[in-house]
Structure 1
């Protein structure tokens, strides 16, 4: 007897998802509520739990297929792996992975079992860099490999000294024209959604970016002074994001239009700040939300952002984590970016871009001195926000960072 595995409810207004990867192979033992598949929605990856214990049976859908809520995607057979091997073997011809009409990459992971358990993004990275997945320790959920694990292994492999050659190598044969090993990979649902929303922002909003630079000396000094006692008391490190979140709330309170949205022919003003924070996940950039950040202290902000970042890396963010948001902070500085023009996150009207801290010469009191400086960028929808509001809001953030006392006295 077999039990059908169906696509669970995915969240409000989400009707379908894409099969991202199978976490269990036919014939493997499955425990009750054990994740057996990963679904990619427009915003997050969702794991499908086993409705019963038994043996993984037939795949009804393959990786890359779009499936609706309630659709049957697999079966689970009764019994143990030994008992269930025979019925599974009878359906061995069922497709397990999507067919491809492209040329196969020249290299493959050493272990077929390891390759089957990898997500499409990780599998692609393994093939591209020639990494044996069995030789890399995974940091993802349940020890699974992430794309970052593979890239780190590839970087370590490149950094290792190459053995001395016994004889001059023969020149490589010329690559035939038209056959350079190109690879075509279907865009994930998340990447398609990101692409569509960013293009919608460009097509709909009147985007404009204003810049300023910020002296980070005061914040860095405060962080250095209190970091140990802060972590000891609150159990979390004191970072820069809490300072910028508090500074942004200060500016949004004085300039509510920067925290507002255009909905139809109306402007909606929010008396609260739900802060969207752009974080990196294995499948791309995601923007989970810290709610009521204007009511939170430094420690609560750091804990909330740290938790969202950890769950983004593990792929355990939920649809509820991604919904809403009135203003966004994107920190490109962690990747070394010096300056950028961030794109707003619709239907929001503004986004603050942070960048790397760099020692630069500046004039203070008529003298040239070296200060740790950061470029700030505020992109905004000019349909709703005037230039004066945007420039002054960014100036407020700059002043609050340069003199954190303003955050305490609401100035």
Structure 2
């Protein structure tokens, strides 16, 4: 198990480039299973979860060729469905959340799929009902092996259907969408997720020959086609990482330029950090954050306490609430952080409290943060990263703190952030992997 030794209190300065979007990569990679023709994908982040999914695809029979550090060619013309019976598949599938999105493409193209219960962050209940209910409406038949926690599905050719999703699940929408593009007839998905990642997947599928309307809305209409062709695709920069750098700059009083951000795709992220007091300037497609010794939380018009909460797109992504919370600890003012989607995602605040932060954990979903206006810096401690997003929030806290911190279990951070220690050290951080 690796750890980070962090010497805090240093101001950072310079340019930093966000990696490709992790959450987009997981669904885009699964989409290569929909065609036997070559698919080239660029701006793929070199992170543990993505690399494991690429390994799973390779073991499944997809020809994988790395063309550049962030660019791969995939050709799924010789799929070995017997691999789905292997122990190696079970081990890999259970280690990453995104593996569930192979089910839709495999059902659509081959009429069968299997899946162990996928892994991922332990942040509360993350049900798969939306995936399976949607694919069942397309004609799939599911069986759940309770003792082995293993799902299997079969189908003749999937058939289009109307469905109203019970939740706007991003991965659920992606899975159903990838099943529907090769289904017979028309599929209507209402209450579909419409995050930029889903829009990117739709645009990629359309280039492959799919017929999809309503892209960018929560009402998708898909006319199934017989087959799809190959394509090239460039992934977005990771909006979660961009938001993390905004919080990092404020917490450390640093002057940072975040490069090539695709600002129109960021939604409420810049506005949210601006409401926390973070100053920023948009310079073309870059975001410049000047050095700030103090920053102040906004209030509502009537003077009441600001409430930052997660919502489905175009609301704030839940993946950034951990960073927003840690950013608020050194702001001037008070803010209520309301994590609506996952009931275990705020439990990392006990580490921040040990560092000296003023936080009241009201219940599993809400925390009140009383900012200290940089009058009392956080202090370095030893702590453990519980999940990807809390892990990077703790790293930000450690970089702002006085003294030395140790963060254990940084493999969690590596699952979502590419060479984060090396990139931050290049602009003045002191992080040592031990």
TM-score range, shorter chain: under 0.3
Q: Which has the higher contact order (CA 8 A, sep 6+)?
A: 2
TM-score using structure 2 length:
0.25
Q: Which structure is larger by alpha-carbon Rg, 1 or 2? A: 1
TM-score using structure 1 length:
0.26
